[in-house]
């Protein structure tokens, strides 16, 4: 009976370790990003609207607290800060604005939506689609949306991402099973291995405590028998 108890304890320990590491892996950042290539300009409100689609494939929530458009060299855009919004060129506007295509005061198209404001929190295994507005003075936003290569800085509670914002091309990937080249709408970003190891090291004391508890429980059961 003592041997059986010991074997059961070992199996329980191994299952606990397996679940422990699985939970850590599943809780890593796994964020998918996509955007609607139809950028909307409102030169009256000095706003460039972009509809982003975010997918959180992690078992833990993730908060996006800042978005900023960068130029082809991944640098901030030059220009005067906005007195109305209190942000620099390329920054997300911290105010809800009606999404309207407007050129020289004349409305072109009303999308019947409002831009979202940050921060935005994604619950585990959920998706979210929203327009976000970025400050560019006057017709500068039109120049930006006609530029084939831009980047988006995404700052999250699990790390920063530089996302290629290319309105002139689509992302593709080769399917391993069929060998076909398929359209891949989302680009996913995961926690790199270094950060994963750091998270693992932080949780080692928890694992050590569990091992000690299991050892103590096993010894108590063996002594009773």
Domain identity same for 122 and 137: yes
Percent residues over pLDDT 70 in the chain: 67
Report pLDDT for 165: 87
Domain identity same for 175 and 97: yes
Gap between the Cα atoms of 151 and 192, Å rounded: 20
pTM of the model: 0.75
Report, as an integer, the average pLDDT of 161-179: 72
171-213 pLDDT tens trace:
666 666 677 666 657 888 887 656 556 655 666 666 667 666 7
Domain of residue 138: give its range: 32-190
Domain identity same for 180 and 207: no
- Per the structure, the count of domains in the chain is 2
29-47 pLDDT tens trace:
899 999 988 899 998 899 9
> Which tokens in the block code for residue 217?
């429980």
The count of other CB atoms within 10 Å of the CB of residue 110 is: 11
Query: What residue has token string 């508890």?
Result: 213
Domain identity same for 123 and 174: yes
Domain identity same for 102 and 123: yes
The count of other CB atoms within 10 Å of the CB of residue 106 is: 8
Domain identity same for 82 and 149: yes
Gap between the Cα atoms of 66 and 88, Å rounded: 13
90-122 pLDDT tens trace:
999 999 999 999 877 667 788 899 999 999 999
> Residue 128 in contact with residue 186, Cβ under 8 Å?
no
């Amino acid at each position: 009976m003592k041997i059986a108890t010991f074997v059961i304890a070992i199996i329980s320990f191994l299952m606990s370790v397996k679940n422990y590491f699985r939970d850590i892996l599943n809780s890593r950042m796994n964020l998918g990003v996509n955007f609607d290539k139809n950028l909307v300009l409102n030169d009256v409100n000095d706003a460039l609207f972009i509809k982003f689609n975010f997918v959180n494939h992690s078992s833990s929530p993730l908060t996006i607290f800042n978005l900023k458009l960068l130029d082809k060299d991944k640098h901030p855009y030059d220009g005067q800060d906005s007195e109305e919004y209190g942000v620099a060129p390329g920054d997300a506007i911290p105010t809800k604005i009606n999404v309207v295509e407007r050129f020289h005061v004349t409305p072109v198209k009303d999308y019947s939506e409002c831009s979202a404001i940050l921060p935005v929190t994604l619950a585990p295994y959920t998706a979210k689609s929203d327009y976000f507005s970025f400050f560019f003075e006057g017709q500068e936003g039109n120049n930006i949306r006609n530029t084939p290569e831009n980047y988006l800085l995404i700052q999250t509670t699990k790390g920063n991402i530089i996302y290629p914002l290319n309105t002139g091309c689509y992302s593709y990937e080769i399917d391993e099973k069929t060998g076909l080249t398929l359209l891949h709408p989302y680009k996913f970003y995961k926690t790199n291995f270094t950060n994963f190891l750091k998270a693992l090291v932080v949780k080692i004391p928890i694992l050590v405590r569990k091992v000690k508890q299991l050892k103590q429980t096993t010894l108590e059961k063996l002594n009773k028998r």
